[in-house]
Structure 1
């Protein structure tokens, strides 16, 4: 553990921030989509009481059955 002085405040470095998880998500993706996709995504998130990232993960997992083996 290293201490770093920043603006008069000591910060620990080398420690991970945020909650511990059994399923970390280290990969990022940005997506551009049209108005129709936005409406579908918004309606789905409202219906399922979820967020856009979880909806995207669910959609990606549905593609698994379409993969050629």
Structure 2
């Protein structure tokens, strides 16, 4: 039998989906930020949440 093929298991799997609705201004701001920094919207939102949570710990 051959070894399994496909994607390897992720070290930190993303098992949860959260949907959010944005107004036009916020959507454009996030999209522009992502283009400028060459990151995905998902990564930008994750970074923003990490910043908020780290602020709360202080």
Normalised by the length of structure 2, the TM-score is 0.76
* Higher RCO (C-alpha 8 Å, min separation 6): 2
List gaps (5 residues or longer) in structure 2: 1-5
- RMSD, aligned α-carbons: 1.9
List gaps (5 residues or longer) in structure 1: 1-16
User: What is the aligned residue count?
Assistant: 53
**Which structure has more helix as a fraction of its residues?**
2
Normalised by the length of structure 1, the TM-score is 0.65
| Residue 25 (structure 1) aligned with residue 14 (structure 2) | yes
The 5 A counterparts of 1:1-69 are: 18-67=7-56
**Which structure has more strand as a fraction of its residues?**
1
Q: Structure 2 CA distance, aligned partners of 1:19 and 1:52?
A: 24
Structure 1 residue ranges (4+ consecutive) displaced by more than 6 angstroms after TM superposition: none
